[in-house]
Amino acid sequence: MRLSFGRRDALIAINQLLEDFKTKKISVGIVGLGYVGLPLALSAAMGGYRTLGFDIDPDKIEAIHAGQSYLKHISAGSIAEAMHTGLLNATMDFSRLDEVDAVIICVPTPLTQNRDPDLTHVVRTTEVIAKKLRKGQLVALESTTWPGTTAEVVKPILDATGLVYGTDYFLAFSPEREDPGNAHFTTRTIPKVVGADDEASLQLAVALYENIVSSVTSVSSTRAAEAAKLTENIFRAVNIALVNELKIVYDAMGIDVWEVIEAAKTKPFGYMPFYPGPGLGGHCIPIDPFYLTWKAREFEVSTKFIELAGEVNTTMPRYVVEKVARHVDANLKIGLSATNVLVVGIAYKKNIDDMRESPALRIIEILEDRGAKVSFYDPHVPVIPATREHANLTGRKSIHWEDLAAEKFTVALVVTDHDVIDYDALRSAASIVVDTRNIYTRRSITGDNIFKA
């Protein structure tokens, strides 16, 4: 079929834009400079793109300009180096969104009090982008969400500008895949999934990310990319719930679940190890499954596995506290209300400072509800930051390690197994130790006062 002049000109413009993306003649804007946005901005700058980060937090902007890091797993040196090249900058001025050719959205997608998706940040950010949207721009959403968000929430806001999707502006979804504290994988080395609902948007998004990360896999739609991200995290949530449930069952039988897992993982096929813990933490795994559960209701489909996994995982903090109470009663002959408990590690995973959805916060609350006196020690989290669900704990400070012996703790409860902690000294400083991470067995530290939960 012969093209009209307008359509032919549009294809020429898209092809030229694609070439500019591939040859890094375009600039990239990252909206949201948190755990996802900051490392992505660094990777974009390292990939050769002029990169402008946007955030509403003046402390973050000031830190970046000073070549400093506000995330434990991101080095100040990497920020300073990127700033020195002139390829990285940061601003609170969102009127500058029209200066960049690709806008990547990296904002939070939490749950409401009723555990429904809260897309407030995505909607508000898209509305801000829409005010400055111009021809030739690509918008990519990275925030984890339910399948259909890009097409049903983001696209209508951008369409309302009068610009034509797929011709004037372009839209894609590429789920973030961050694992803070993982020394084996960085933003740049983790493969990317990219999906779009038209060919031009997909080609542009692939060209963009191919210069930022090591490899890119494209899928047929934004919905498929959104579903891929949820599938990754639901897989982990369900399997962690399974081993948490097995822990409870095997414990009742006098069987050590950790020993069982070590034996089972010697099988070279058909099995992969997951490990139990005190509950789920982080922004993704405790939250993302509920995004699919919520969306599935629209199609009158139940998500039994997902909901059951959520029930199991959310009960683990209470299970841990009950185990502490039993160990105290059996070994010290006192009630939980008479104990002085040190919660060791309150970040949601080891060797990082990320507190999002940490089960330690719920454990502290349950312990205190039971009458225990509770302190905490975390070398990476000196002060508990403000959280929506645990506002009463905001501002609490970690004890100093050198004060450990003087406190005479009844119980040291290991919730997060940071590598830098001297676990042998911890064992000596408390009447009993309750280990939720199997760190004592893994370090071959033994003692009559060490118990598992």
Could you give the residue numbers annotated as active site?
Answer: 284
Q: CB–CB of 435/452 below 8 Å?
A: yes
Distance of CA 47 to the CA centre of its chain: 23
55 burial (CB, 10 Å; 0-12 / 13-18 / 19+) is: buried
| DSSP 3-state of 118 | coil
Residue type, 35: Y
| Contact in structure between 10 and 16 (CB atoms under 8 Å) | no
User: At which residue do the structure tokens 């596995």 appear?
Assistant: 305
Euclidean distance between CA atoms 19 and 396, whole angstroms: 53
Using left for φ > 0, alpha for ψ between -120 and 50, and beta otherwise, residue 276 falls in: beta
SS3 294: helix
- Residue 335 neighbours by CB distance under 10 Å: 13
Burial 336-347 (b: 16+ CB within 10 A, else e): beebebbbbbbb
Q: Which of 157, 154, 72, 64 is nearest to 109 (CA)?
A: 154
- For the chain, the C-alpha Rg in angstroms (whole number) is 24
CA angle 134, 135, 140 (to 5 degrees): 75
Under DSSP, the state recorded for 383 is B
| SS3 (DSSP) at 18 | helix
**Helices 222-252 and 257-264: angle between axes, nearest 10 degrees:** 120
Contact of 358 with 388, CB cutoff 8 Å: no
CA distance linking residue 340 with residue 338, whole number of Å: 7
Sheet order of strands, 102-105 included:
88-91, 50-54, 27-31, 102-105, 138-141, 170-173, 192-196, 216-219
Q: Could you count the other beta carbons within 10 Å of the beta carbon of residue 304? A: 8
